[in-house]
Amino acid sequence: MPLNRTDNKSRESTFGFLCYDQSTRDSKNKTIFAGRIEIGAGTNVYRTPWADLIKAAKTSLACWNVDTQVIWERFLAFNRLRGNAAVPAGFLLGFMRRWSCPTGQHRQ
């Protein structure tokens, strides 16, 4: 028997392309990652459409205090190492969600 959720704050719809903003619990506060990211593109994130999305998404993630440019450079390096020329934009959000912090540097 399937479970039906009437709660619009469900995390079920956040997998893949959406990042739920946990700071407000308002369903209008979602960061949408759609499209494709060209890995061979330039290394300055501020010359891409992804800088604002990274800033918005990282507020509720472990990488909240990491510079946007650093996140971008590591994401590009990660994908270059794997031979990816282009990836779905959702991969960037997944990469940010798996960010690990040194012990003692997690958000309080």
> Residue 8: how many CA atoms within 13 Å on its side-chain side?
6
Helix (H) or strand (E) holding 33: none
> CA 26 → CA 8, 30, 58, distances in Å?
9, 9, 17
Dist CA 76 CA 56 (whole Å): 19
The pTM of the whole model exceeds 0.85: no
Asked if 38 and 86 touch (Cβ cutoff 8 Å), the reply is yes
Confidence of residue 43 (pLDDT cuts 50, 70, 90): confident
What residue ranges do the domains of the chain occupy?
A: 17-97
pLDDT tens for 5-42 read 344 433 333 223 333 333 333 445 566 778 999 998 67
51, 3 contact by CB (below 8 A): no
